[in-house]
Structures are given as C-alpha cells and as structure tokens.
Amino acid sequence: MFTFLLQLRSTVQSGHRVYLFSMFVILVWVLWAVKVVLASRYRPWITPYETSNSVVIPVVDEPLDLFRDVLQRILRQEPGETIVVINGPRNHELEAVADEFAPAVRWIWTPVPGKRNAVRIGVEECCGDIVLLVDSDTLWTEGTLTELLKPFADPRVGGVTTNQRILDPGRCFLTRWAD
C-alpha cells in the first residue's frame, strides 16, 4: 500500500508518469468496490420451492464410515432419488454400503475411472427436474436440500452452490486453501 501511495504521489506531481503497479492496485480496489455494491443488493431466498430432484454422488475410494454418514445425512432430507456412481476398480465394500440404504439409494458401477464420466452417467440416469451433484465426502447439514432448491423458484436461475467447510483443512496446502 505504501508503494502504491508513493507511486500515486509521483504520478500526481509529474503529471505524465503512470506506474503499472498503481494501475493494478486501483483496478483491485475498483473490483472490490463493485463486489461490495453487488453483495449489498443480495437478499436470501425465503420462500420454499418444491420440485422433483435427484442427487448424484460419484465415488471411487471413500472411507466406508464417512460414506455411510454422507448417505444418512442426505437421505434424512428426503430427496426424490439418490444415485451413487462407483467408478474405477470394483469396490464391493462401497456397493454394500449403498445396498444398506436400498431402495432409497440406487448405485451404478462403471469401470471407467474419473469423476466426469461418473457425473455424466449419474445425470443420464436421474429423472428429477433439479440435479444435485454431491461429492462423496460432503456432509449435508440440516435443511441443505430445502435451501438448495429455493433459488430455482426463479426461472432465470440455472445453478446454485453451497458454502463449504473442509473436514480436515490442515491436511495439506490445497485443503487449507479450499477451506
């Protein structure tokens, strides 16, 4: 900030010298101000909206207890349908956990590894008007499904996301940053 002020003073005094760093700092502050103004206009959705929905959960190698907890928390909120797509090598343990929640949970196995392929398969299989893509280690809090559906009352809304909290943010740099 001190460098910016010195460069700004030099620009004002000389009248013709413009510093790239000063322009960058000004741009950052202008963007921040725009975000503040737009954020001040935000109003949360308060009217419940009900429509058919499908939850798609791609999973490859998740700890069984965590995956069981994920499914329990999601099913407590009564989604229209829940589809688990197990991808990569066959994982009979994950299949057994998904079977514990049948018929509320339907699982599909694909030998093709990768989250994108699993999401594609899950979306092709679901029949709800709204598709919720959930990571296999995402723990829903009470009312998550209701809150996620509310904005879709406005036909201009094409997608929503949640605020995330990482379970163990100290695990590595990336998880600390994502948290």
CA 6 distance to own-chain centroid: 42
The count of other CB atoms within 10 Å of the CB of residue 153 is: 13
Domains of the chain by range and CATH? 2-40 (no CATH), 53-169 (3.90.550.10)
- 9's CB contacts (< 8 A; 6+ apart) are none
What per-residue confidence (pLDDT) applies to 78? Answer: 97
What per-residue confidence (pLDDT) applies to 166? Answer: 67
Give the span between the Cα atoms of 134 and 61, in whole angstroms. Answer: 15
Type of residue at 132:
L
The structure's pTM equals 0.76
What per-residue confidence (pLDDT) applies to 114? Answer: 94
The count of other CB atoms within 10 Å of the CB of residue 122 is: 25
The ranges of the chain with pLDDT < 50 are none
Give the span between the Cα atoms of 85 and 121, in whole angstroms. Answer: 7
